[in-house]
Amino acid sequence: MLTLLVLACAEPAADDSAPDVHLPGHNDCLPEGQEMDLDVCRAVVEDQGRYPTVSENKSGDAPVVDDPRKDDPELRWLTSEVKRCTCSCCHHRGLGGAGVYFWDLDWTPVWTDSASLWTLGVFSGTTDNDFQTLPIEDLERVQAWYQGETDRRRAVEAGEE
């Protein structure tokens, strides 16, 4: 057993044939219509030393299996924007990302329910935390979606929905 442990901790042999790969940074995004590659995301998660965490429902309302928001074009647009950015790599439970405790693209039925309103505010750029803001050009559209989600959650909380 000790031998296996030592072998598992040994430095891997250098592979001179391996290409020099540039991993995307925290605020990098691909062009519209593209998604982060699964292998690139796994490499990002490993390179950053991420570890799996547990995601949970932070929306404050009970999940609805046939949630009508799943068909919302703005949510589909937002999801496609997120999936083209590096942030999706660490906020994707299936990849073992450490950030899933703030939000998780694998959360069902609607992934945004895994985020608190504070987190969505950071995400949409309505706070001073620019480093965590979704790095896309159309932040006004994200902020309009965020305002609608804020209103929806407050209505659910007040029993109006």
Q: Tell me the domain boundaries of the chain.
A: 66-161
Tell me what pLDDT residue 101 has.
Answer: 80
20: how many CB neighbours lie within 10 A of its CB? 4
The full DSSP string for 71-133 is G-HHHHHHHHHHHTBTHHHHS-GGGT-GGGGT--TT-SS-GGGGS-HHHHHHHTT-SS-GGGS
| Burial class for 136, CB neighbours closer than 10 Å (0-12, 13-18, 19+) | middle
Q: Are 126 and 146 in contact (CB under 8 A)?
A: yes
pLDDT tens, 56-101?
A: 999 988 888 899 999 999 999 999 999 999 988 888 888 777 778 8
Tell me what pLDDT residue 161 has.
Answer: 66
Assign 26 a pLDDT band (cuts: 50, 70, 90). confident
Tell me what pLDDT residue 153 has.
Answer: 92
Mean pLDDT across the chain? 82
User: What is the percent of the chain with per-residue pLDDT over 70, rounded to a whole number?
Assistant: 86
| Burial class for 141, CB neighbours closer than 10 Å (0-12, 13-18, 19+) | middle
Report how far Cα 72 is from the mean position of its chain's Cα atoms.
19
pTM above 0.85, yes or no: no
Q: Coil, strand or helix: which one is 29?
A: strand
Q: Lowest mean pLDDT of 7-21, 30-44, 103-117, name the range.
A: 7-21
CA-to-CA distance for 68 and 63, rounded, in angstroms?
11
CA-to-CA distance for 125 and 127, rounded, in angstroms?
5
pLDDT tens, 138-155?
A: 999 999 999 999 999 999
